[in-house]
A and B are shown apart, each in its own frame.
Chain A
Amino acid sequence: MTATSSGHRGLVMEEPLLFEQDADGRTGVDLPDAEGRKPRLGGLERKARIGLPGLSEPQIVRHFTRLSQKNYAIDSGFYPLGSCTMKHNPRLNEKMVRLPGFSMAHPLQPQQTVQGCLELISTLAHWITTLTGMPGVAMSPAAGAHGELAGLMTIRAALTARGDARKTVLVPESAHGTNPATAALCDYKVESIPANERGRIDVDALKAAMSEDVAALMLTNPNTCGLFENEILEVADVLHDAGAFFYGDGANFNAIVGRVRPGDLGIDAMHLNLHKTFSTPHGGGGPGSGPVVLSEPLIPYAPLPYVVADGDGFRMVEHDDSGDSFGRLRSFHGQMGMFVRALAYMMSHGADGLRMVAEDAILNANYVMARLKDSYNVPFPGPCMHECLFDDHSLKDTGVTTLDIAKGMIDEGFHPMTMYFPLVVHGAMLIEPTETESKASVDQFCDTMLHLMERAQSGDADWFHEAPHLAPWRRLDETAAARRPVLTWKPEEEKGEAA
């Protein structure tokens, strides 16, 4: 790489931390003068300086613009992260959430003054229950994992109400890490169920694990290998016959929206990630929103608060007189900003368009699988759903790993796929193109992947080990970062003291 005197490289700008651009007395806002009243703080006035940096507005705008330019994003390219559903985020959603009637409404205003907000939540709930074929939905969970928590707590409350103190939750070994973590948070013992040779849950193993101690099975369907659990109706029967509940992880709903309703599959509770299937932006890792749909027996135990139709209007139930609800999981009513975006998206697609979303999503994934399957090893034969899984068998003896392929993809201008997940295959590469990629874009991606495998098999391991070569940064040393964590910036004088 050619060194430059500025440190910039063409359009890639070096950008110091905000704190390194600080000048005392500089600000990016102009505020009116204070009156100079005597404070009513009971002697608790802050005396110490906070240490916040002073910058002007143009410096701030340039700083964050430069930072943004160091990010890969859906807007700029193909982002095939399996299990994450990186689809296009429509800008209409953003426009709608900024309507002052939504953005400037306070969650504790009198309910008669926020009927439009309650109507929106109720309308979205109707879309969700209709698309899932489930009778109820709890809207408040803040994200997918929070929805899982709400679902499992609802199940535990229902079991407790019938005097049933079950202590075990079953989780397939291919599950997202949030599933066992959520079960543990609800004080359940987690038991792992193996996959069969077809990448699905082993129903015999499930039957063997069933007992009166099993509260629920948490199953992702389509599963994390990108496959539909074809024995799902039998799985539901096994659970229900033993008095257990069937929790569905709806992270992969994008494959079936409008074509299959979880309510027809025997599911009792399932969260949906609005930031996956329903296009609310990922925002660099959040915020999400995780409404959880519920079967009839679970509805009374749903979390607070919830919206009900009441005469001509709507009412938010914030306290539960019956004592059945398991309680509250957060402040206020839910991720309203995500609700507005998701409803704008659903209305745009409509019942007809949402079917096409699912169909084009699985078409793209199966197309990628078909084009790559002679080059990359497919551990479980298709058809797949909205994502396709490869293992690293084809890389054997090349000296190139799944991680190296991922870093090579960066040089080729693609965001890497999900790697090393699910854990049930070696060196997993999980590719989810989503329905918003054109054929030309998917073809270019496939051509690149074929080229990378050819390059790996031709003995070019050194190039891979050094990759990425062309990204704004070279490979970062995560080991050193974890051994000596530096988690905040400190002024020079403090660093000196610490050393």
Chain B
Amino acid sequence: MSDRLYSKDHEWIEMDADIGTIGVSDHAQEQLGDVVFVELPEIGRAVVQNEEAAVVESVKAASEVYSPVSGEVVEVNETLTDDPAQVNADPHGEGWFIRIRVDDMSQLEGLMNEEAYQEFLAELD
């Protein structure tokens, strides 16, 4: 079982000290279809919990990626610019979007663990 936590908007975050890596869930990439473009924030930008941090596009849809917690962007996954298909191929690994320095660790408490997220998905169907 990983330490990955999920939001209701289908983003995940994985913490390493105060740095959180953020991506979209396998369910989200499946819903979106083949990803053709990813728009990433600039490094240093402050992102706010549940507000837009990045944009991900398929041929027929565009979705915002919301940051599950607030923080400052310290790294972005540049490889997605050339190879957005990574989001489909490995959403929880090579397909990560951004790393942020988390402002307030208590914001993590409202997120779901793997098990809770799977239950959440089951309810959606």
A residues in contact (CB < 8 Å) with B: 420, 478-479, 482-483
Contact = CB atoms under 8 A, between A and B. Distances in A.
Closest 5 CB pairs of A and B: A482-B36, A479-B34, A478-B59, A483-B36, A482-B59
Contacts of A483: 36-37, 84-85
Nearest to B60: A420
A184 B90 CA distance: 36
A407 to B, nearest CB: 15
Contacts of A479: 34, 36, 58-59
A482 B84 CA distance: 11
Interface in B7-23: none
B18 to A, nearest CB: 35
A482 B62 CA distance: 13
Contacts of B58: 479
Nearest to A478: B59
Interface string B32-59: 0010110000000000000000000111
A483 B38 CA distance: 10
Interface in B72-88: 84-85
Given A479-B34, A482-B36, 7 more contacts: A420-B60, A478-B59, A479-B36, A479-B58, A479-B59, A482-B37, A483-B85
B81 to A, nearest CB: 11
Q: Dominant SS at the A interface?
A: helix
Contacts of B36: 479, 482-483
Considering residues B36, B58, B84, which has the most beta carbons from chain A within 10 angstroms of its beta carbon? B36
Q: Dominant SS at the B interface?
A: loop
A244 B87 CA distance: 45
A483 B84 CA distance: 8
Interface of B: 34, 36-37, 57-60, 84-85
Contacts of A420: 60
A238 B9 CA distance: 34
Contacts of B60: 420
A177 to B, nearest CB: 12
A483 B35 CA distance: 8
A478 B57 CA distance: 13
A479 B37 CA distance: 10
14 contacts: A420-B60, A478-B59, A479-B34, A479-B36, A479-B58, A479-B59, A482-B36, A482-B37, A482-B57, A482-B59, A483-B36, A483-B37, A483-B84, A483-B85
B86 to A, nearest CB: 12
Contacts of B84: 483
Contacts of B85: 483
B29 to A, nearest CB: 13
A156 to B, nearest CB: 27
Contacts of A482: 36-37, 57, 59
A420 B59 CA distance: 14
A491 to B, nearest CB: 25
B105 to A, nearest CB: 33
Nearest to A479: B34
Nearest to B36: A482
Contacts of B57: 482
A478 B60 CA distance: 9
A230 to B, nearest CB: 32
A479 B84 CA distance: 11
A482 B57 CA distance: 10
A483 B37 CA distance: 7
A482 B85 CA distance: 12
Nearest to A482: B36
B30 to A, nearest CB: 15
A208 B85 CA distance: 43
B6 to A, nearest CB: 25
A362 B58 CA distance: 36
A483 B60 CA distance: 13
A484 B117 CA distance: 34
A160 B100 CA distance: 43
A479 B35 CA distance: 8
Nearest to B85: A483
Nearest to B59: A478
Nearest to B84: A483
Contacts of B59: 478-479, 482
A478 B59 CA distance: 7
Nearest to A403: B60
A159 to B, nearest CB: 30
A478 B58 CA distance: 10
A420 B60 CA distance: 10
A478 B34 CA distance: 10
Nearest to A420: B60
A420 B34 CA distance: 17
A476 to B, nearest CB: 11
A420 B37 CA distance: 22
Contacts of B37: 482-483
B87 to A, nearest CB: 12
A465 B93 CA distance: 31
A482 B56 CA distance: 13
